[in-house]
Chains A and B, each alone.
Chain A
């Protein structure tokens, strides 16, 4: 694992987690996407060996471990599907409330105010 790779993963995770903690749905979405990239790099780093493309056509030298690449492909497809779904959901939320803002739970606020507490 090279140092550049480690730093890249760290940076991706930092940005991803920061964006995930925002109240703005679009930012959350982008954050999840970036986090997914960080995770994919982590899986790539889990390869047992690095080398040329894992195609058995008699070429020379060490070949890469193909399994993490297969795992990453699966993970990318899943992340893609979920991102598309979340985008559709964001559009629907926008249509319902004209806001791109994730709100508190109404029921929680109602119960909070029943107890004499102030509703946020």
Chain B
């Protein structure tokens, strides 16, 4: 495909959102528009990825403004890979949400908001320009604020407020970074900013590095900036939480990967310490909770640490393992929250005391949870094991004993907290009543589980593709490690 088509990645879902808003209460039209536009973006991103993977990264300056002052979009193997897998899961969650409509209190605004979120994610991943990254993040965030309040009573409003205020604070810092970068270098193109800073003003490069790490660290929920996440995510309806869990923090991680590899003078000790602390404190939070969605939300935080560990190692193999980890995590985490949504529908609540014995009435659901939970914990032969092995192996090869030990211990604790959900919700006598999960929900959850198994089956292909992606990350600075 030609690079001129790249703006469609953002334009299609935005146009879909507009049509969907005009169609208003006509659910049939909204569903068709939603599925068609997300599907089209998925196909486009896969085509772009394949093109980039074969050695032709796509780049376009929208409207012909060059020199770091216009809107630049670029797809290289890294962004193509993450974008493709993200859009596949966005599509899956959309289908899940559609089959859940009617029993959930998702109103007609759901579709326009969801498509705006899709556009924001696509823009954040495909842009090569600092200010458009800001616009992409804001688009995603504003859609996410409104999605969080889809059905809100007093409790939801409270947690949404902390989510909104924390993220707004991060956005202000982001704008400060933009002002600082433009004022010092006179360009907004990410690689130009870094190149100019390196040649003219090396001391300022570390300021830029620190500012972007803090800004994206809030979005990605790194230690110690993660407190907003377990507070707000669990209160949203299941499909909304699933797409947030699978995507939003990973977009933050992706931005960290982008910027830090460009800067390339990474403080390994700092990043690895943050990674270890994020893993450890995230899992401690999960151990103390008694609500399925809250336990899973703390797992999001914990897993972010592993992804950062890949970056902190900063070798080609380490980065590749980190990228593979992100891909596997997007699939598994989304799947787990889809399972949590079904559990909610079956036992009428997400607290582990709300009901039990689901294995008797829904054995396949229990199986789906087992596969995804074991994959997240990293039990062989599932996908989570493959990527975790690649990561920790590289940690040991490079002699980073501390962070590797923490990663192993946290894996065991992850398994332990998953056992808590298993014992509470799936084991024992059948207690708890709910409206029941619709067939569409079951099908989509099953599809995501199959996808997570495919990750394990095609592990060598995944690692190979991640290696290409990691090479493209490092090639952007014109140097290796």
List residues of chain A with CB under 8 Å of any chain B CB. 20, 25, 28, 32, 35-36, 39-40, 42-43, 45-48, 67-68, 71, 74-75, 78, 81-82, 85-86, 89, 92-93, 96-97, 102-103, 105-107, 111
Known: A96-B157, A107-B294, A111-B288. A46 touches B142 (CB 8 A): no
Q: How long is the Cα–Cα vector from A86 to B161 in the complex, in angstroms?
A: 8
Contact of B179 among A45, A82, A96 (CB under 8 A): A45
Assess the A46–B183 pair: CB atoms within 8 A: yes
Q: Is the CB of A39 within 8 A of B157?
A: no
Chain A interface secondary structure, helix, strand, loop or mixed?
helix
B175 & A32 in contact (Cβ 8 Å cutoff): no
Could you tell me the distance between the alpha carbons of A82 and B155 in the complex, rounded to whole angstroms? 20
The number of residue pairs between A and B whose CB atoms lie closer than 8 Å in the complex comes to 86
Q: Chain B residues near A103: list those with CB within 8 A.
A: 158
User: Closest residue of chain B to A42, judged by CB?
Assistant: B179
Beyond the given pairs A28-B165, A102-B158, 13 more chain A to chain B contacts, judged by CB atoms under 8 angstroms and listed by A's residue number, are A32-B172, A45-B183, A46-B179, A78-B138, A81-B142, A85-B164, A92-B152, A92-B157, A93-B154, A93-B157, A102-B162, A107-B291, A107-B294
Interface readout for B268-289 with A: 1 if CB under 8 Å, 0 if not? 0000000000000000000011
A67 & B69 in contact (Cβ 8 Å cutoff)? yes
* List of B residues within 8 angstroms of A36 by Cβ: 172
Asked if B1 lies at the interface with its beta carbon under 8 angstroms from chain A, I say no
Q: Chain B residues near A39 (CB, 8 Å)?
A: 172, 175-176, 179
Size of interface on B: residues with Cβ below 8 Å to A = 38
Closest to B68 in A: A67
Q: B131 at the A/B interface (Cβ < 8 Å)?
A: yes
- Given A78-B138, A97-B154, A106-B155, A89:B179 Cβ within 8 A: no
B160 within 8 Å of A (CB atoms): yes
Partner of A43, one of B153, B179, B289: B179
Please give me the 7 A-B residue pairs with the lowest Cβ-Cβ distance, nearest first: A46-B183, A96-B154, A43-B179, A42-B179, A93-B157, A46-B179, A46-B182
Q: Give per-residue flags for B57-69: 1 if the beta carbon is below 8 A from chain A beta carbons, else 0.
A: 0000000000001
Q: A20 near B165 (CB under 8 angstroms)? A: yes
Are the C-beta atoms of B153 and A96 separated by less than 8 Å?
yes
CB distance from A27 to the nearest CB of B (A): 11
A81, B189: Cα distance in complex, Å: 26
Beta-carbon nearest neighbor of B182 in chain A: A46
C-alpha gap A75/B164 in the complex (Å): 16
Q: Decide if A85 touches B146 in the complex (CB within 8 Å).
A: yes
